[in-house]
Structure formats: C-alpha cells, structure tokens
Amino acid sequence: MDELILWQKTASGSLIDVQLVTTLAKMPISSNKTFGIIGDSVSFGLKATTNYGQYIQRATGSGVQNLAISGAHLSDNGYNSIYQQAQRLDKAQLYIFQGTDDDWLANVPIGSLTDKPNESYLGAFYHTIKVLKQKNASSKILTLTPTYQVPIKGNKVRRTDETRNKLGHNLHDYVRAQIQASYVLDIPVVNLMQKTLFNPADYQFRQLYMPDGLHPNERGHRIIAKELAMAYNYYFILSENKKSN
C-alpha cells in the first residue's frame, strides 16, 4: 500500500518525507516564490504532523501563507469563512484554494455563480476566485476538492460522502458543482475525490493515511502535495507549451 518512506523529524517535531521534498524541489511548482493557501481543516493540516503547504515550503524555500481554518465554510458566514480568508491573503504567485465539506454539513445551498458570497456555495466560490485575481492579476490558482470520507468515532462510522443533508445533497454534489464551476471560470482543479488517491473505506488505507476517516495525516498530505505538483506541471507548463506550439 505504501512505498518505503525516509522520514526525517524536524526541530518542531514535524515528520518530513525527504524523498518527496527532493522531488518537489525539482518540479516546476518550485519556481513560485510565494504561495497563499485557504481552506478548512484539511488544508490547515488537522491530525497531520506536516501538511501539504509545509511540504511545499520545505521543498521550495518559498514563503507559504496558510490561512486555512478548521470547520471553515466556503460561503461567507463570518471571519473564518474561506471567502474571508481570501481577503486576508497577501499577494502571491500561486494560490491554492480548497473546497470544503462544511457547507454540505451546514445545509448551505449549492446555488449558482451569480449568487452573493453569503448566499450559496457557488456564489462564494465565484467571489473567492474574484478576490484572488484582484490580489494579483498575474497569479496562478489551483483549486482542490474534498476527498472521500468515512469519519469514524470509536468503531462507528458517523457518516459517509454519500450521506444526504437536509437539502437532499451529498458531498459529491458539492464536488461536482465545484469542478464544473472551475471549468466555467477556467481555473485548474485538482480532484482529490478519487479512490485511487483517497479510499478511507478501506481499513488498511485508513490506518496508513487517514486514521479518523476524514483528515489526512502526514502520509495523506504527501499525496496532496504530489497531486498539486503534477497538476501545476500539467496546467501551467505542458498546456502552455501546447498553446505556444
């Protein structure tokens, strides 16, 4: 399930995968000198000794500003919201914008891109992208989707990504809406809701990468960091080269 990893413990107690850091340092994503990250508990790195932003920072030596907050909604419900996180970000070359499961759990309407940021998931998505572009018109943006999830309490599964909220939506509905909105707005999206990447329903996977069935640990964040680096190469290097040719 897991390849051999050479872990190194840093002074702060974080576990760093030396091989991954070396690999990321050689990839095009390392050309960025400033990064801005917004999102919820996953981007924050809850339950992980090292999050994907810290892997990137260690690999690139760049400035990484991570304003993600556990439990944050994308829709604007106050200071913690991802929409308001975006407003507090500094100017950066690459913004990483994670969608969240918290709007689904709070029964926030999916809505449309024409909604206001406090009206719906997609309204906040559109206005968050708008804020990031206003921060730096030449910046690059990558959006991340949530993952499959089976939150465990003791031996009991509390819910899954297929659970319907009071509006009749499951998490997949919000993820599909985010992916479609990314295409409409021409924003590259990294779809983490793939069982080849995250399959917490599998006991062995969960033990290694996502012990609580919801939050990736440092091994899980390795997956996210690699997916981000590969997506950056595909969208901003290979695709641009094809256009120029």
Q: What is the pLDDT of residues 154-165, one digit of tens each?
A: 889 999 999 999
Kind plus residue range of the DSSP H or E element containing 44: helix 41-44
Across 36-45, average pLDDT = 98
Single-letter amino acid code for the residue at 27: M
pLDDT digits (tens, 9 = 90+) for 182-236: 999 999 999 999 999 999 999 999 999 999 999 999 999 999 999 999 999 999 9
- Name the β-bridge partners of 153: 156
pLDDT class of 16 with cuts at 50, 70, 90: low
Number of H helices, E strands in the chain: 10, 9
Burial annotation 188-212 (CB, 10 A radius, 16+ → b, else e)? bbbbbbeeebbbbebeebbeebbbb
**Are the CB atoms for 60 and 32 separated by under 8 Å?**
yes
Q: What is the pLDDT of residue 63?
A: 95
What phi, psi does 160 have (nearest 5°)? Answer: -135, 175
Q: What is the pLDDT of residue 4?
A: 47
What is the rounded average pLDDT for all residues in the chain?
92
pTM: 0.90
Tokens standing for residue 135:
């921060």
Question: Comparing C-alpha atoms, which of 206, 91, 90, 107 is closest to residue 147?
Answer: 206
